[in-house]
A and B are shown apart, each in its own frame.
Chain A
């Protein structure tokens, strides 16, 4: 069975299986050949793909270098240097600082960029526009500057050039430095090319290179890659793959790998062999079948590789695009985040910092690299960190947290800041939560400003000073509460309205022009305005308005501070009025009147016009005051003022100088006679009685007129001369007017001279006392004398008592002069009595002013005591006028004198009121009949009767009588016949100095009658001169009689 089966099997194998086997082998051989071809293509593609990846890496490497150089070229230090250098500045004065700053930037780049632990940049140069080297960092000592590219065709682009040198290629990157489109210079950097190639191009593990780098321009490839021969040219050679490196002048070259797979290729020669080996094949049939399966798998693998290759290519392209885009975005975002003044950080969900910008790192005084990887617990105190850790989940839950404010202290410089922080969850592209993003902003300044603003707002709002703020067009934008109180306007009533709402119309337009001119020029304005309250009342305010400028320097607002000075202004006006107007009559006072006179003079000077000054004094007004009281007097003054006011034009001035003196100023006169009409009109105004209470009072006035420029050119001069003219009018009988004349002026000059010389006359011993004898008519005996004052001035000559005594009275000099006379008289009478032994008495005239002095009687007492003179030896003669005043001090003085024993005589009896009551009330011993009566004695019978009556009356009252002014025998006899006691006059004796009166005359007792004595006496005067010098042969000049003799015979 087995034997029969074997041939069958052999035949089967020989006729069936063998051909099948051979066919199968043939088919297998062809299939294998084809698969092998496919494998070669796949290998080449795989090699190309690998090569493209490396080319992309190399391209990216150089793109980063470009970024480095571009960043360096745009570094501010370079811009600063070139900008300042372009201005011509020297290195020594300013430029060196920029250069050093620039050098710092370059060195920073050199230090920061490394590859495989070695510097990436070998050398960086800064060139100017002439390609002169400004800065060369990293070059070996003495190395020449490299030849650089001309300016790149595209501004702002970095050129990359390979320079072939003996030791190999060097890659130079050149970037222009520009500012605002202007080329300032260039940055040239030399890259460590070999290092880049080793890292990026060589296969891992440093296996001998199967990849070559070549220059696209056909130059020699880099020798750093070692084994390969130089090859170049365009297009790949058989068995090679070439891939250009984008944006560089390089290509990568590698064998395509076909030789590796070519060794298994089956040729036609071997087919026969294979057929002959069919048995062998048969034997290895199983193996052959299995190989078929392998071929199939190989084919499938090829298909898969092809598909993968395509996919990888596409992915690679997309990846490259994404990488490029992402790099751009990342660079942009990194620059953005790093230059943001805000603090930015990112934490993962466990609180670990994934990112922060330098501003955030500064908070801790650290670098960003020190922050990343740490948590809040590592960086902050536990308490604060806990707060953060607590807040972060809240931010995630809410989708956002904040803004929160926190006070932090920067660890770097220690300054404190307020940060406003916002936290928000961060998600990746798939929407997965990846962490928490934090952004914090330093709001310290804002907070301070807000705080200050809040404080100031409250201060302004609560300020007691009214504040108003407007826009530049004066539209009110703000007022405070004090403003509301001051004006009565509510805030809502004024906001949005123009500030002219407050204008009262009382302020002069010039003030507003000044105000606006000042504040629009940017200056503050101070001043006073009159505004109007809401109720219409006028409000005086002191205002301070200042412009406020905005950031651009433009005026944006005006701030007005106001102060209500209404009451103050009212008081000022009142004070001003009081200072210029008479309180009683409301007429201008002396000050204002003279001021107006000065104005009138100025105007008149310009217009060549005249000004009349009318000085008006009410006649006998003093009597009204004294008799009816001051209240009545005041009413009279008020009415007089009204009449004066109505008697002149509106433009004329009526003023009150004081008391009952008024002044009327009439300007713009063309003729001096015009003043006459004014004066007459004024006097006419007084014709009507003054009705005061129930009384009708008659009153007149006297007016003096002075004219500018004839009578004076100053107000004081004109006033004084009008005053003089007024006195002249008084002298002329009152109720009239008088122009100032030169005669008046001369009188005034004389008066001034006399007054001036009178002062000191006593001290200069110019005043002397003379004595006129008094004769007792019954016995003819000289019983005394009257002391009389004489003034011999070396300047004025002899000045009559009638002229200087009134001046002494008015000036008060009469008091010391009177004392002097009293002292002289007392001493004289003591001397006379001692030398003669006769009972002599000296009469002395006493002035009202002396009697008004409360110390008068005591002074007299001391004086008498000092002279050892008894009171009875003196007789004081007092005029009736003294008694009219009837003042208490005069009564006291008279009583005091009487108490001293001094005799009192009433002088000038008959010329005044001759009131007998005075004689009775006071202790008078003597009565002196005025010389006017004596002069007519013996001539006029009526006078003789009057004298007789007066003597009889005096005797009836127990008084003795003296007749003065006896100048002839007739008068002497008349007095003697009427029983007069004593006589005095030229007939009896002229006034002489004390030592000149013959002692024997005084001492001689006489029992003769007056008639008998007369011849003797009549001879005496012939021996005495006017000043009492005995023995003079010149007859004395009789003293001139004076109207005011009653006050002049001291």
Chain B
């Protein structure tokens, strides 16, 4: 049996997928709900996608604890619902959507609603705001361009104006290959990346955001778009191997997303967020999961004055 175990171990990833083609049933749908219905049902369903330290995929993470705390404050049971970036908003609203090439929303097929709150380091973007309502910002972010250390492109020197810095970075992209990821905050259309003359590479498979940096180190592209929290963790993880060229986006924020017909749930979350920012819970959460990021954005993380 040890031989068989050793033999079967590598196929763990593969066989279920193959068998699934024969056997997998589909999951059931759930109706849209606001605060009253959630409290009546006794469960809050948290949609998340494993991403950086927001959702680790191991039952922990910044957003996991945030929503767990929120569920506790509502007196309901917390339930995690695994999703993907391409289906997350569909799982929340009941209809899949994606950004079209004008920056607007392209609605797609209807799907079952699987969760009540989407919190997974989701950047607040205009097209997403057309689909869902967002909470008050939960985390600061932004998108920078990172490259392998040996790339011949040098980091820019800050000019004092983010917009000028962005232009300088964009002007250096012509003829370069840049790794980006559709349907996420790294969507190349969000930043009109193709207008720069860069060759945009999209991952062949549905990789996670925190696999972007390894992909760069693995020479799958010269450089990549990456969000600031991920970059700061990556810089610490692989010192001297990655370099930040400069900003691609203005300052951004992350937030939790809610269905537009759940205004009371969203308000309850905002109230909860304000409470934990004052009592230090939020402060500790950030330090726990983003020790590196904390000092960088310390101003944002400080509790607001009363």
Contact = CB atoms under 8 A, between A and B. Distances in A.
Contact of A90 (B4, B11, B22, B157): B157
Interface in A62-109: 76, 79-80, 83-84, 86-94, 96-98, 100-101, 103-104
A100 B290 CA distance: 13
A469 interface: yes
A459 interface: yes
B277 to A, nearest CB: 20
A456 B155 contact: no
Contact of A453 (B5, B144, B149, B246): B5
Given A83-B239, A556-B10, A557-B10, A459 B15 contact: yes
A546 B14 contact: yes
Given A101-B292, A465-B22, 6 more contacts: A93-B158, A94-B244, A459-B16, A460-B11, A460-B15, A557-B10
Contacts of A88: 154-155, 243
Interface in B191-239: 231-232, 235-236, 239
Contacts of A882: none
A182 to B, nearest CB: 10
Nearest to B142: A93
A97 B293 CA distance: 7
Nearest to A87: B243
Interface in A99-149: 100-101, 103-104
A467 interface: yes
B14 A559 contact: yes
The interface residues of chain B, by DSSP majority, are classed as helix
B12 A453 contact: yes
24 contacts: A76-B236, A86-B240, A87-B240, A88-B154, A90-B156, A90-B158, A93-B155, A94-B232, A97-B232, A97-B296, A98-B235, A98-B236, A413-B288, A453-B8, A456-B11, A457-B5, A459-B16, A459-B19, A460-B15, A544-B18, A546-B14, A548-B11, A557-B10, A559-B11
Contact of A93 (B18, B156, B291): B156
A559 B16 CA distance: 12
A550 interface: yes
A9 to B, nearest CB: 101
Contacts of A456: 8, 11-12, 15-16
B26 interface: no
A559 B15 contact: yes
Contacts of A413: 60, 65, 288
A477 interface: yes
Interface of B: 4-5, 7-16, 18-19, 22, 58-60, 65, 144, 149, 154-158, 165, 231-232, 235-236, 239-240, 243-247, 288, 291-293, 295-296
A88 B231 CA distance: 16
A179 B9 contact: no
Contacts of B291: 101
A384 interface: no
A97 B19 contact: no
B147 to A, nearest CB: 9
B69 to A, nearest CB: 11
Interface in A181-228: none
A365 to B, nearest CB: 11
Interface size class of A (residues with CB under 8 A): 35 or more
A457 B59 contact: no
A794 to B, nearest CB: 60
Given A97-B295, A459-B15, A478 B4 contact: yes
A465 B19 contact: yes
B59 A415 contact: yes
B239 A97 contact: no
B8 A87 contact: no
Contact of A92 (B18, B65, B158): B158
A452 interface: yes
Interface of A: 76, 79-80, 83-84, 86-94, 96-98, 100-101, 103-104, 179, 413-416, 449, 452-453, 456-457, 459-460, 463, 465, 467, 469, 477-478, 544, 546, 548-550, 556-557, 559, 561
Contacts of B244: 89-90, 93-94
Contact of B231 (A94, A179, A557): A94
A96 B296 contact: yes
Contacts of B10: 548-550, 556-557
Contacts of B293: 97
Contacts of A80: 235-236, 239
Closest 5 CB pairs of A and B: A83-B240, A100-B295, A94-B244, A83-B239, A80-B239
A467 B19 CA distance: 10
B155 A477 contact: no
A453 to B, nearest CB: 6
Nearest to A557: B10
A467 B246 contact: no
B12 A561 contact: no
Contacts of A556: 10
B58 A415 contact: yes
A713 to B, nearest CB: 48
B282 to A, nearest CB: 15
Contacts of A179: 239-240
Contact of B9 (A100, A414, A453): A453
Given A80-B236, A456-B16, A104 B11 contact: no
B292 A469 contact: no
Most buried by B among A457, A459, A478: A457
Given A83-B240, A478-B7, A97 B292 contact: yes
Contacts of A557: 7, 10-11
A559 B14 CA distance: 8
A129 to B, nearest CB: 15
B293 to A, nearest CB: 7
B92 to A, nearest CB: 26
B4 A457 contact: yes
Contacts of A414: 60
Contacts of B60: 413-415
A523 B241 CA distance: 31
Contacts of A101: 236, 291-292, 295
Nearest to A563: B22
A84 B295 contact: no
Given A88-B155, A93-B144, A94-B144, A546 B239 contact: no
Contacts of B5: 453, 457
Contacts of A561: 18
Contacts of A83: 239-240
Given A92-B158, A456-B15, A478-B4, A87 B149 contact: yes
Contacts of A87: 149, 155, 240, 243
A549 B12 CA distance: 11
Contacts of A96: 296
Contacts of A460: 8, 11, 15, 19
A541 to B, nearest CB: 15
A209 to B, nearest CB: 46
Nearest to B147: A87
A943 B270 CA distance: 120
B116 to A, nearest CB: 22
Given A93-B158, A94-B144, A456-B8, A104 B295 contact: yes
Nearest to B146: A94
Contacts of A465: 19, 22
B144 A478 contact: no
A100 B293 CA distance: 10
A1024 B244 CA distance: 111
Given A79-B239, A456-B16, A100 B7 contact: no
Contacts of A559: 11, 14-15, 18
Contacts of A548: 10-11, 13-14
Contacts of B232: 94, 97
B117 to A, nearest CB: 20
A965 B17 CA distance: 90
A50 to B, nearest CB: 48
B50 to A, nearest CB: 15
A87 B4 CA distance: 48
